[in-house]
A = this chain, B = another copy of it.
Amino acid sequence: MEKEEKALICPIEIAMEHINRKWVIQIIRDMFFGKKRFNEFKEGKPNLSNKVLSNCLKEMEENGLITRKTNGGIEYKLTEKGLALNKVLYELAMFTLNTDINNRYYDDENKKELKKVFKEILL
């Protein structure tokens, strides 16, 4: 009997399957910033419809990123696994801030402040 071999799937691809969908990363970011409820996630996202948000939260729950609990209304929380995305989010933010060399999106002061905020919240 030979040793069982699992086909080695690239871990990067597996990670991307968790966060590929359009709103997932933004919702996770919101949760790191303290948001918990359905209608909170919709704030500032005029294009996010109920259906899409609902599906999104469901998929995130199936993927083990969040939990859904009743607590005088329904609250969503990051799981251990969801929290483990902190460094991914941090590096995504740093990528943008570090490659915005022509200050297309931010001036130097913005960058400094944003780096500080993301570091405090995500690391």
Give the bracket for the number of chain A residues in contact with chain B: 35 or more
Interface stretch, picked from A54-62, A69-77, A105-113, is A105-113
Do B91 and A91 touch across chains, with their CB atoms under 8 A apart? yes
Say how far A81's CB is from chain B's closest CB, in angstroms.
Answer: 5
Do B114 and A11 touch across chains, with their CB atoms under 8 A apart? yes
A78 an interface residue at 8 Å Cβ cutoff? no
Say how far A119's CB is from chain B's closest CB, in angstroms.
Answer: 12
Do B9 and A105 touch across chains, with their CB atoms under 8 A apart? yes
Q: Once the chains are docked, how many angstroms separate the CA of A110 from the CA of B3?
A: 14
Number of copies of this protein chain within its complex: 2
Residue of B9, B88, B105, B107 near A11 (CB, 8 A) is B105
Given A16-B25, A96-B12, A106-B6: A88 touches B85 (CB 8 Å cut-off): no
Q: Once the chains are docked, how many angstroms separate the CA of A8 from the CA of B80?
A: 30
What are 23 sample pairs from A and B whose C-beta atoms fall under 8 A apart? A6-B105, A6-B106, A6-B107, A8-B106, A10-B26, A11-B94, A11-B95, A11-B118, A12-B25, A12-B89, A12-B92, A13-B25, A14-B96, A15-B95, A16-B26, A20-B22, A80-B99, A81-B99, A84-B98, A85-B95, A87-B94, A87-B95, A88-B92
